[in-house]
A and B are shown apart, each in its own frame.
Chain A
């Protein structure tokens, strides 16, 4: 019984293990008899391939845990590639820099202002927190408003000047890496504001943003279906090549961002109040609200993070494929949702986590790698992906035993006592449909 339960809890990792096993067994060998699938370069290549989807899926996990959904990430990512590519290749006040400078200034200013307030708040609470005592901390006008405001304004101005100084020439690596996500974050903030203040359903609000961001990207690029090529060393800074290099010869740069995002936001979910609130709101939004949680703030923040990570993914896309294009991320949102869902995060919200998303992303990455090594048609890959989604979700949502008994046409046994596990009363979440589209990694 214990073995079964352990198996049931870790079945996600078993899936990953099975995929690896199949990959290793089916893999072709080099002339010297080495297994190509298990070779270091192949595995790091898989990590590189999944990084962009993975970053987006990380933000998507937060949003889905919250009980929402963000359909706009693909378009926002595509839009970010345009911003990034234009900043890299076109000097002067292009539409991209006109958007990027204020966005960077606003994000820096507001971010630093709130950070200052947050730090003062933490300091005021004192070293020894009396557990459970409702301690009302009211910061005075100086620490509460004036100092954060001044700091924020200063940093905002600094960011404005700093980015504006780059406008006349082309932007450098660090500049695009910081500025592009700021623009995407602003789009995420619009999503959040529509959902929180406009009371729109997340599906609707982000659907609107998905459409709008694509249009905005095309308008920004100037021509329909524009592809802005980025040739490092000729029309853009050579240093940009760094974002597709290997770090210390071990990890590809994009995967460093992906792994860092997984670790950081995994820690955020696990160790911070913000993370706790995300789970609480996803689990029961009304109860969370009645518990005094500021639901609107948490929602807004989650959509902003989702936008931010989509923007970062956009920069990595430009580095990886040496181009920016408005539809770079078409279908990406569905890949991300699929990865989140097969990672065991419930679309109802409140249950799941980033470890599952990481595995989910890897499963897709390994699958396409295996099929590529076998030279199997990419359309078969899509078919396989769909099957995997249905299969994993079927297995996750119900106990295998229940599934088997139902197939045998017997009445399911009485629900097992809920000791330490909520498997039994999981709501069946919607099964994702696979979508036929060109895989992003083959797009260029």
Chain B
């Protein structure tokens, strides 16, 4: 606690006394002074060796080495699921159960939690900010370690003074007395940074800090980050935006499938070298023979837009997306997290939050879909990403889950047709080869793959024309994935028009007849057949790289 006060140069207390197992740096070494000289020696402050971590049998990190020097910005890159978050969370003490050794300034440490890591000078800023919206910036910075008057009353004047001084020294122009809820998202991010530094952080881990920021907010953030690096803070930085990484980082480490594949100074690297390091793996399965997309499109989407208003203000999540899907065709939607992929599906299904614009037609007929009920009526089905929360009633039987969208169709005069419902469930279980003891088995007791089959099956029972799949193989083991792929191919062969959203590149390439690539809500290209390669998709999907790809949408 004392450490925080020293950073701010207030008059309380003497030198800091860390309680962590690490020797602390000299008090006040983090006096953030933009005019100060850059540290002359780039000493290694953090060093991880052979770090491995697995979650419930799935290996997230395998034998990863990582080192971080003071005063450097070290970018951590990788596809979704490559292990970036896991590594960062281990370093920050969020995950305490791992294999391997972490040293800070040469001393081996094993954090017992986030507080422990903070005491050792490691702070993490999560993608989702951890601020209390109803408190002021100053109160947030000193949350949980407020200075007290006579040990009882919170010393507000001192909080405000100290916070203002800290913000000023960081070159951040934010009134410390404003409520965080009133601050823009970029400003909130800066408050988080100030909070981390007030903890005497010498190692700052930033998880996708720019994902929600506007360009000018990003610039401010970069300025602060560079300034911190000059002051000797070591920064681990992740971002999906290549241009940003190239501009900001000194070194880059690329993870792929939980392994480290590259660590190198950024100067000698090209963007494409980073991309191929990220995606460089072979696609195991052969693609199917392309479906016949001849004839009129089943689903046709024109100039789809989606606007939302939240506390962050007005945002356009979809900026004019247009595509057609024919009978028996599988359209893959690629892009990074938050690029608007899921929003496309939700908009078509009529359940997106916000205002939707554009035209949707089913079988050539203009369709007005404003609710899931409308979508069902028109033969559009959505298998949601989070099947436990949104797709299935997990504590209920297979029969009830499969029949749910069809209860109305199987009834007459509002009286349920139990025999028809059971027939549907039996049919689905047989058709999709769901491994279960019977249709009365509780869904929660099924394996992930079989749960997903039930989630797809409940829609097949409604005989849809258009099937929208959001991350159809999330949380499913490899063998079951193949089954789901075969299932999707089979459905396409049966004539369904299918749209698949997936974060996994091999899956996208494997499943799709054509690939629609999204970047920041904009459709950056539609690739078909041989055009669709990992590099091409990545180039269109990465912000800062777009505009150079082929087929840029209007």
Known contacts A134-B462, A289-B351, A290-B372; is-contact A129 B409 (Cβ 8 Å): yes
Closest to B458 in A: A291
CA distance A420 to B395 in the complex (A): 10
Question: Are B416 and A276 touching (Cβ within 8 A)?
Answer: yes
Closest to B421 in A: A131
Q: Is A321 an interface residue (CB 8 A)?
A: no
CA distance A255 to B1 in the complex (A): 68
Question: Are A118 and B445 touching (Cβ within 8 A)?
Answer: no
Known contacts A134-B464, A280-B393, A283-B393; is-contact A292 B416 (Cβ 8 Å): no
User: Could you tell me the distance in whole angstroms from the C-beta of A398 to the nearest C-beta in chain B?
Assistant: 16
A-B contact number at CB 8 A: 131
Encoded as 1 (CB less than 8 Å from any A CB) or 0, chain B from 258 to 271 comes to 00000000000000
Residue in B382, B392, B416 whose CB lies within 8 Å of A271: B416
CA distance A342 to B416 in the complex (A): 29
- A residues within 8 A CB of B461? 132
Q: Is A425 an interface residue (CB 8 A)?
A: yes
Q: Is A286 an interface residue (CB 8 A)?
A: yes
Which A residues between 403 and 437 are near B, CB-CB below 8 angstroms?
417-422, 425
Question: Are A272 and B420 touching (Cβ within 8 A)?
Answer: no
User: Could you tell me the distance in whole angstroms from the C-beta of B56 to the nearest C-beta in chain A?
Assistant: 16
Of B396, B409, B445, which is in contact with the most chain A CB atoms at under 10 Å from its CB?
A: B409
Residue in B404, B415, B416, B423 whose CB lies within 8 Å of A293: B404
Question: Are A418 and B445 touching (Cβ within 8 A)?
Answer: yes
CA distance A277 to B463 in the complex (A): 20
CA distance A210 to B96 in the complex (A): 51
User: Could you tell me the distance in whole angstroms from the C-beta of B454 to the nearest C-beta in chain A?
Assistant: 12
Q: Is A350 an interface residue (CB 8 A)?
A: yes
Which B residues between 403 and 460 are near A, CB-CB below 8 angstroms?
404-417, 420-421, 423-424, 427, 440-442, 444-445, 458
Question: Are A294 and B407 touching (Cβ within 8 A)?
Answer: no
Residue in B404, B420, B463 whose CB lies within 8 Å of A280: B404
CA distance A351 to B373 in the complex (A): 24
- A residues within 8 A CB of B392? 284, 287
CA distance A129 to B445 in the complex (A): 32
Question: Are A132 and B351 touching (Cβ within 8 A)?
Answer: no
- B residues within 8 A CB of A286? 389-390
Question: Are A290 and B420 touching (Cβ within 8 A)?
Answer: no
Q: Is B29 an interface residue (CB 8 A)?
A: no
User: Could you tell me the distance in whole angstroms from the C-beta of B390 to the nearest C-beta in chain A?
Assistant: 5
Closest to B413 in A: A122
CA distance A275 to B418 in the complex (A): 13
User: Could you tell me the distance in whole angstroms from the C-beta of B444 to the nearest C-beta in chain A?
Assistant: 6
User: Could you tell me the distance in whole angstroms from the C-beta of A232 to the nearest C-beta in chain B?
Assistant: 39
CA distance A125 to B413 in the complex (A): 9
Question: Are B372 and A272 touching (Cβ within 8 A)?
Answer: no
Q: Is B123 an interface residue (CB 8 A)?
A: no
Which A residues between 274 and 306 are near B, CB-CB below 8 angstroms?
274-277, 279-280, 283-284, 286-294
CA distance A311 to B553 in the complex (A): 61
Q: Is A234 an interface residue (CB 8 A)?
A: no
Question: Are A290 and B351 touching (Cβ within 8 A)?
Answer: yes
Q: Is A133 an interface residue (CB 8 A)?
A: yes
Q: Is B184 an interface residue (CB 8 A)?
A: no
Encoded as 1 (CB less than 8 Å from any B CB) or 0, chain A from 120 to 137 comes to 001001000101111110
User: Could you tell me the distance in whole angstroms from the C-beta of A300 to the nearest C-beta in chain B?
Assistant: 15
Residue in A132, A293, A422 whose CB lies within 8 Å of B373: A293
Known contacts A131-B410, A291-B405; is-contact A422 B416 (Cβ 8 Å): no
- A residues within 8 A CB of B424? 131-132
- A residues within 8 A CB of B464? 134
CA distance A425 to B442 in the complex (A): 12
Known contacts A271-B416, A422-B442; is-contact A292 B375 (Cβ 8 Å): yes
User: Could you tell me the distance in whole angstroms from the C-beta of B495 to the nearest C-beta in chain A?
Assistant: 15
- B residues within 8 A CB of A287? 389-393, 404
Question: Are A420 and B375 touching (Cβ within 8 A)?
Answer: no
Question: Are B406 and A132 touching (Cβ within 8 A)?
Answer: yes
- A residues within 8 A CB of B238? none
- A residues within 8 A CB of B415? 271-273
Question: Are A119 and B410 touching (Cβ within 8 A)?
Answer: no
Which B residues between 267 and 309 are near A, CB-CB below 8 angstroms?
none
- A residues within 8 A CB of B394? 284
User: Could you tell me the distance in whole angstroms from the C-beta of A265 to the nearest C-beta in chain B?
Assistant: 14
User: Could you tell me the distance in whole angstroms from the C-beta of B427 to the nearest C-beta in chain A?
Assistant: 7
Q: Is B52 an interface residue (CB 8 A)?
A: no
Question: Are B375 and A134 touching (Cβ within 8 A)?
Answer: no
Q: Is B336 an interface residue (CB 8 A)?
A: no
Question: Are A288 and B404 touching (Cβ within 8 A)?
Answer: yes
User: Could you tell me the distance in whole angstroms from the C-beta of B380 to the nearest C-beta in chain A?
Assistant: 10
Question: Are B463 and A134 touching (Cβ within 8 A)?
Answer: yes
Residues of B at the A interface (CB closer than 8 Å) are: 349, 351, 371-373, 375-379, 382, 384, 389-396, 400, 404-417, 420-421, 423-424, 427, 440-442, 444-445, 458, 461-464
The 16 listed contacts between A and B (C-beta, < 8 Å) are: A122-B413, A129-B411, A131-B409, A131-B423, A132-B427, A136-B378, A279-B396, A283-B393, A283-B396, A284-B390, A287-B391, A291-B405, A292-B375, A351-B395, A417-B445, A418-B445
Known contacts A287-B390, A294-B371; 7 additional CB pairs below 8 A are A122-B413, A136-B378, A272-B414, A276-B400, A284-B392, A291-B376, A293-B404
Across chains A and B, which 3 residue pairs bring their CB atoms closest together, nearest first?
Answer: A292-B376, A131-B420, A122-B413
